[in-house]
Structure 1
Amino acid sequence: MKALKLSLVLLLIATCISCNNKQSLQEYYIDSKENDKFIMVDLPTSLIAPKSENLSEDQQRIIASVKKVNLLAYAMKDTSFYNSETNKVNGILNADNYDELMKLGTPEQRMRVFIKGDEDAIDEVVVFAQDNNKGFLLARVLGDNMNVADMVRFAETMDTSSAALNTGGFEGIMDVFK
């Protein structure tokens, strides 16, 4: 009898755990990959980073902490779909332990930056840019032990070495916002 009660309790616990229907950002990316309304690109840092011989040791260390960048974009075609998807993304970001680092823009055009992990050991940086007339772009920067200051320097590195930057990986994705 005790074994039956224990089995029922364990079954109930397993059922409750498996009923967690909150979607993660990774699951959202996977689901969206199957939807032809989205443009999706996965970029290793070797594709987007400047040539290493043009970088200082500090810049090379920062780039080494970034493993890849996932880009997901939706070009505005259907306002109700846009609203539905941006609500999903906002819900995921608000419920999945992401810390909002910064936000800027207007109600029509806005960008928010989120981090996941400790301030000195960030595992993921998420940029969610929305334009109510053009669509949205969701970018995930995945890495190991990244930190906020390094991410700022990474962005500066990408900006100041645009001559060495391989932009071929971005063709098509930025056309979404033309």
Structure 2
Amino acid sequence: MKSIFQIFFLLILGVQFSGCNQEPTLQKYFVNHQNNENYVMVDLPAGMFLSFNDELANADQEAIESIKKVSVLAYPLNGSNTANYESEVAVLNKILSQEKYKLLMKIGNTTKGMRIAYLGEEKAIDEVVFFGNDSDKGFIVARVLGEKMNVGELMKLVGNLENGDIKLNLKQFESTLKKLDEIES
């Protein structure tokens, strides 16, 4: 009887270890670097910088409401951290080249470029990722987190933003950045 329990325990343990995903994720990358002095991290609820008026179409309002939070992690080059820049960009490129990230757009080359990808299904996106790098300035990664976001609707939002139909609440956004700067000083 004791050997049956041992075999059962080993079987459960084996299943748990085989189910653990050791693949690096963008979320782990953010968590591992949030307190690193070479990085700047900001988490913003969507309501902090997006506001919309009642005249917008329901689809636009739903698209805005599907955005829950934006997390930004930046690695500005300052002379003392340039040695790690290429290895950090390589790590992010490896993460974003995983099959689960669906590429929307990629422009540039190895020294300067931008990539936009998403997680989820086209009409039910959970996360949109913007990754931009410049070997002279550093890199920035932004995660737009939401619930059932729609690529087409998000692209329409960008158009409406350019037309002025959607207003950025930059005063509150700038106020938050100033407070963060004061904390870091």
In the superposition, the TM-score normalised over structure 2's length comes to 0.81
What are the within-5 Å matches in structure 2 for residues 22-171 of structure 1?
22-53=23-54, 55-77=56-78, 78-95=81-98, 97-161=100-164, 164-168=167-171, 169=173, 171=177
Kept in 2: contact 1:24–1:96 (CA 8 A): no
Q: Which runs of 5+ in 2 are unaligned?
A: 179-185
Kept in 1: contact 2:52–2:165 (CA 8 A): no
Distance in 1, matches of 2:123 and 2:167, equals 28
Distance in 1, matches of 2:90 and 2:67, equals 28
Displacement of 1:132: 0.9
Provide the aligned C-alpha RMSD in A.
Answer: 2.2
Structure 1, 135-144 or 5-14: larger mean CA deviation: 5-14
Displacement of 1:57: 3.2
Distance in 2, matches of 1:94 and 1:63, equals 28
Aligned residues: 171
- Residue of 5, 18, 36 corresponding to 1:3: 5
- Residue of 9, 12, 20 corresponding to 2:14: 12
Q: Which runs of 5+ in 1 are unaligned?
A: 173-178
Report sequence identity in percent.
35
In the superposition, relative to structure 1, how do residues 145 and 15 fare at CA in structure 2: closer, same or farther (>3 Å)? closer
Corresponding residue number in structure 1 for 2:181: none
Q: 1:57-107, CA deviations, whole angstroms, 9 ceiling, x for partnerless residues?
A: 332221111111111111013222111211111122223611111111243
Structure 1, 88-97 or 161-170: larger mean CA deviation: 161-170
